[in-house]
Amino acid sequence: MNSSNRLLMRALRREVVERPPVWLMRQAGRYLPEYRATRQQAGGFMEMIREPKYAAEVTLQPIRRYGMDAAILFSDILVPLEAMGMALKFDEHGPSLPEPLRTREAIDGLRLVDPGETMGFVGEALRLTRAGLPEETALLGFCGAPFTLAAYAVEGGGTKQFSFVRKLMYRDFESFSALMDKLADQVVAHLRYQVACGADAVVVFDTWAGTLTRLDYLRYAAPWTRRVLRDLAGVAPRIVFAGDSEHYLDDVFEFGAEAVALDHRTPIGKAFERARGRCALQGNLDPAVLFASPAEVLRRTHALLDEVGGRPGHVLNLGHGVFKDTDPECVGAFVQAAKERAS
C-alpha cells in the first residue's frame, strides 16, 4: 500500500473517509501488562528507548492488541537534549536534567548534532517497527516543541512554576532566543531523520506552552514552533499538540500544520468552527473518562464523535496521554467506538 493511502494520512488531508482513524497518545505504556514485562526484561525505561528491539516491541504491542490506525514510536521528547550534551536521568518521579541550562555559557555549550550519529537507535527502532506493522497502519515520529524542551532544559525537570525559564526569557531574551534557535534547529533535524527512517507523519508536542499567557506565547514560544513547522513543510504531514490551548488556539490554527491536536478542555465541535477548514483536528476525549466502565467509555466516545458530526479531517484521540492505571479494556472500548463508525 502506498503510505499516502493509509486511513490516517487521508484524514490528515481532510478527505472523506470511511471512519475516523484512531490512535492514543502514550498508547505504548504502563497500562499494558506486556509493556511492563518488556520493561522488566530490558532493565528500565531508558534501556527500552536505547535498545531498538525493545522500543519497536513496545511500539507494536498496542497495535497487536487493539489495531489502532497509527503507531507512535516509543521514545521520549527529552532524548534530543541528551544527544546535545545534557545529562538525563529517569526515576520513579519522572525525568530530570541534573545540570540545567541557566547561564549563557551553558547554553552556548549545547551542541547541535547529527541525529543519525547520536540517535541512531531511534532510526533503527523506526525501521524495525515499520517492518512489523500491518501495511495499513501509519507510523508516527515525534519531538517536543522548542519551548517545551527549553522549559525542561532550564528548569532541570518538570515543575509547576517554571520560574527559571521565565526569568531567562524575561530578563535575558538574547540568551533565551539563542537557546530556542538551537532547539528549533535540532527538532527539525530530528524529525527529518525520523521521516527518512520510515515515519509517515510527525507530531510536535508543545506540552508546556499552555502555561504562558497568549501574549507571552506569541513572543516566547510561537515564533519557534512556526519555524519548525515551516521547515518541515513538504517533508511529512505535521500534527502539533498544543497543551492547555484554549486561550491561544486560534493562533495555532494559523501555523499551517496539517492537523492540530486538541486537549480535552476544548469542545471539539466549537474547535471545528474556529478552525474553518484550515487543518484537520485530533482529539479529544478526556483521558480520565477511561477510568469509567468500558460501556461508559464507548458511550462517551460515540458522543464525542456525534459532536464531530462526520466532518472530514478528524482523528480520534485523547486530549492527553493514557494514564498508567487505565484499564486496558477501556482503551479497547475507545478504539472500538471508532471502528463502529465504519460506513
DSSP 113-128: --HHHH-HHHHHHHHH
Return the H-helix or E-strand segment holding 250: helix 249-252
Report CA dihedral (142, 146, 151, 152) to the nearest 10 degrees.
40
Q: DSSP 3-state helix, strand, coil percentages of the chain (rounded to 5)?
A: 50, 10, 35
Q: Would you name the residues annotated as active-site residues? A: 26, 30, 39, 76, 152
Residues linked to residue 201 through DSSP beta bridges, in sequence order: 140
The identity of residue 161, as a single letter, is: Q
d(CA 129, CA 123) in angstroms, rounded, equals 10
Query: What's the grid cell of residue 1?
Result: 500500500
Distance (Å, rounded) from C-alpha 61 to C-alpha 59?
6
Look at residues 264, 77, 302, 213 and name the one whose alpha carbon lies nearest to residue 86: 77
Which H or E element spans position 202? Answer: strand 201-206
- DSSP class of residue 157 equals B
Which residue, chain included where needed, has cell 530490558? 42
The answer to whether 242 touches 252, Cβ cutoff 8 Å, is yes
